[in-house]
Amino acid sequence: MNPAPPATLVDKYRTRAPRYTSYPTAPQFSAIAGDTVDAALASGDGPLSLYVHIPFCKSLCLYCGCHVEIQGKRGIGAVYVDVLLAELDLFCARMKPGRTLAQLALGGGTPTFLLPADMARLIAGIRARLPFAADGDFSIEIDPRTVDVDYLNTLVDIGFNRYSFGVQDFDEAVLEAVKRRQTESVVRTALETLRKRGNFQINLDLMYGLPHQAVESFGRSLDIVTDLRPSRIALFQYAHVPWMKPAQKVLEKSGIPASPLKSTLFALTVEKLGAAGYHAIGMDHFALAGDELVSSQASGTLQRNFMGYTTGAGLDQIGIGVSSIGYFRGVYAQNLKKREDWQARIDQGELPVERGLALSPEDLRRRRLIMSLFCNFAVRWPVEEDYTAELERLRPFEADGLCVVRPDRTGVDVTPLGQHFIRNLCSIFDQYFEADVASRRYSVTA
Ligand code: SF4
């Protein structure tokens, strides 16, 4: 990847565009018949991927774009676990028996908001319904402020083998501005604790584009990160969407960095992580040699879903918990977002799906193109598929050196410079994009 694109190109291509963690994107979801969801679930077989959403957080980080519920009472997690397991029963009753779990991901919110005993009960309950595959990925997102040595040991004991820590930055002024007070030592202790127990895959999440971030201080944070040596690093650009997340408005008072600084911070990250031995993966991930993301990218089997870039091609994905999204057999299904509504539906013995989409053959074709571009920075299509209009709209991108259309017009390769503009390039193949962007539903690309 080119470290930094010229400012003229950044300005030229700045727009609002999806991050394509799904295609079609969530704004296209609408009411979906229960029979459609049931039929898709019943038709699947083989190992599964399960996402579990724990929405609770103790306090709100001002940059947050997740579906969260600020909660003071940790005991509420016990009831939430009961309902999650009841929801999983509803899914299992609709699927063929004998399915196993190849991937489990707990995200949020803050999964470690749950008390350790509730966490252990949740995992035992999932295991009893869906046996864990011997070589599976069992991952959890951790807010380092919520775990002590005992809690981390519990997570290891109950079978997690992948740990992802939200860090964002180590600079005090930045953390103060976004209301996420967390020290370097708390992160360092957590990693040391896990490393005493085994050779686990550890990811750190960073964020750029936050108030008070500057080249020198962000460079220092990156030095701490490379010293901690996680096997993966995800670097997300802050998505300012105050019309959806009103708390973000407060950050405008502290000053949100403009595009040239954001580009410089991104370039600095590429340079520093590259020098420390990390491979750039897709749009915003980095991994050490030996990590599965590196081999997946090399073999063209990298995937993208609501968790970002992953391995695990072709698995049916089930989502439980408020607001979770699943994708199985060409059907997206998203749960109700309000906890009371979600629970009431499950209490009635019904899946708490609120919206979704059964993909048309055209959606499936375009989904394949967009995911290939996002994961492999290249796409090929059969000669009988016609994308004349799209190729026409790619001409300015090609003229600016961002992509190369194959001479036989059956594919596109993204250049290293063009990788910075991958959201723009993918939007060319998104048949809903023009209507969507007019309603300002997405964050800016740069
Ligand atoms: S801990 Fe994570 S999910 Fe919770 S408010 Fe902060 S950023 Fe959002």
Taking only the tens place, the pLDDT of each residue in 387-415 is: 999 999 999 999 999 999 999 999 999 99
Are 283 and 194 part of one and the same domain?
Answer: yes
Lowest mean pLDDT of 209-223, 318-332, 369-383, 431-445, name the range.
431-445
Contact between 421 and 5 (Cβ < 8 Å) = yes
**What's the pLDDT tens digit per position in 96-115?**
999 999 999 999 999 999 99
For residue 299, being part of any structural domain is answered with yes
Contact between 421 and 9 (Cβ < 8 Å) = yes
pLDDT higher at 443 or 387: 387
d(CA 239, ligand 1 centre) in Å: 14
d(CA 122, ligand 1 centre) in Å: 21
The confidence score (pLDDT) of residue 9 equals: 83
Are 10 and 89 part of one and the same domain?
Answer: no
Are 138 and 193 part of one and the same domain?
Answer: yes
The answer, as to whether pTM is greater than 0.85, is yes
- Which pair of tokens denotes residue 379? 């796409």
Are 38 and 153 part of one and the same domain?
Answer: yes
For residue 226, being part of any structural domain is answered with yes
**Cα angle 165-319-297, degrees, rounded to a multiple of 5:** 60
The confidence score (pLDDT) of residue 259 equals: 81
Q: Is the pLDDT of residue 51 over 80?
A: yes
Which of 175, 180, 182 has most ligand 1 atoms within 8 Å of its beta carbon, as the pocket-test mutant? 180
The residue-averaged pLDDT of 214-228 equals 97
The confidence score (pLDDT) of residue 363 equals: 97
Pick the residue whose CA is nearest to atom 3 on ligand 1.
109
Which of 53, 141, 143 has most ligand 1 atoms within 8 Å of its beta carbon, as the pocket-test mutant? 143
What is the total count of domains within the chain? Answer: 2
Are 312 and 385 part of one and the same domain?
Answer: no
**What's the pLDDT tens digit per position in 122-148?**
999 999 999 999 989 999 999 999 999
Dihedral sign for Cα 56, 58, 60, 61, please: negative
Q: Is the pLDDT of residue 296 over 80?
A: yes
Are 42 and 76 part of one and the same domain?
Answer: yes
The residue-averaged pLDDT of 197-212 equals 96
Pick the residue whose CA is nearest to atom 7 on ligand 1.
64
62 lines ligand 1 (CB under 6 A): no
Are 1 and 92 part of one and the same domain?
Answer: no
**What's the pLDDT tens digit per position in 74-88?**
999 999 999 999 999
The residue-averaged pLDDT of 309-331 equals 90
- Which pair of tokens denotes residue 310? 């992953």
The residue-averaged pLDDT of 251-265 equals 88
Which of 56, 58, 59, 68 has most ligand 1 atoms within 8 Å of its beta carbon, as the pocket-test mutant? 68
Task: Quickly state the pLDDT bin for 442 (edges 50, 70, 90).
Answer: low
pLDDT > 70 in the chain, percent? 96
Task: Quickly state the pLDDT bin for 10 (edges 50, 70, 90).
Answer: confident
Q: Is the pLDDT of residue 440 over 60?
A: no
Pick the residue whose CA is nearest to atom 2 on ligand 1.
109
* Range(s) of the domain holding residue 176: 19-319
- Which pair of tokens denotes residue 287? 């991994």
Are 80 and 153 part of one and the same domain?
Answer: yes
For residue 29, being part of any structural domain is answered with yes
d(CA 61, ligand 1 centre) in Å: 5
Whole-number Cα distances in Å, 322 to 87, 186, 344, 354, 423 = 11, 29, 12, 10, 28
Ligand 1 atom with least separation from CA of 166 = 2
The confidence score (pLDDT) of residue 2 equals: 57
61 lines ligand 1 (CB under 6 A): yes
Are 208 and 286 part of one and the same domain?
Answer: yes
Which of 56, 59, 64 has most ligand 1 atoms within 8 Å of its beta carbon, as the pocket-test mutant? 64
Task: Quickly state the pLDDT bin for 276 (edges 50, 70, 90).
Answer: very high
Ligand 1 atom with least separation from CA of 63 = 7
Q: Is the pLDDT of residue 270 over 90?
A: no
60 lines ligand 1 (CB under 6 A): yes
Contact between 93 and 106 (Cβ < 8 Å) = no
Ligand 1 atom with least separation from CA of 108 = 3
82: domain CATH number is 3.80.30.20
358 lines ligand 1 (CB under 6 A): no
For residue 332, being part of any structural domain is answered with no
Ligand 1 atom with least separation from CA of 59 = 5
The confidence score (pLDDT) of residue 282 equals: 83
The residue-averaged pLDDT of 209-223 equals 96
Q: Is the pLDDT of residue 255 over 60?
A: yes
The confidence score (pLDDT) of residue 4 equals: 66
| Strand-pair partners of 140 | 106, 163
109 lines ligand 1 (CB under 6 A): yes
For residue 325, being part of any structural domain is answered with no
Instruction: Select from 319, 339, 372 the last residue of a domain.
Output: 319
Instruction: Select from 288, 319, 350 the last residue of a domain.
Output: 319
> SS3 of 194, please?
helix
12: domain CATH number is 1.10.10.920
Contact between 88 and 101 (Cβ < 8 Å) = no
For residue 258, give every residue at least 6 positions away whose Cβ sits within 8 Å of its Cβ, in sequence order, or none.
none
pLDDT higher at 283 or 375: 375
Instruction: Select from 319, 343, 374 the last residue of a domain.
Output: 319
Q: Is the pLDDT of residue 347 over 70?
A: yes
Burial of 208-224, coded b for 16+ CB within 10 Å and e otherwise, reads bbbbbbeeebbeebbeb
Q: Is the pLDDT of residue 441 over 90?
A: no
Instruction: Return mean pLDDT, the chain.
Output: 93
For residue 330, being part of any structural domain is answered with no
Are 4 and 45 part of one and the same domain?
Answer: no
Are 173 and 45 part of one and the same domain?
Answer: yes
d(CA 65, ligand 1 centre) in Å: 8
For residue 327, being part of any structural domain is answered with no
Q: Is the pLDDT of residue 284 over 90?
A: no
For residue 324, being part of any structural domain is answered with no
Are 308 and 230 part of one and the same domain?
Answer: yes
The confidence score (pLDDT) of residue 308 equals: 78
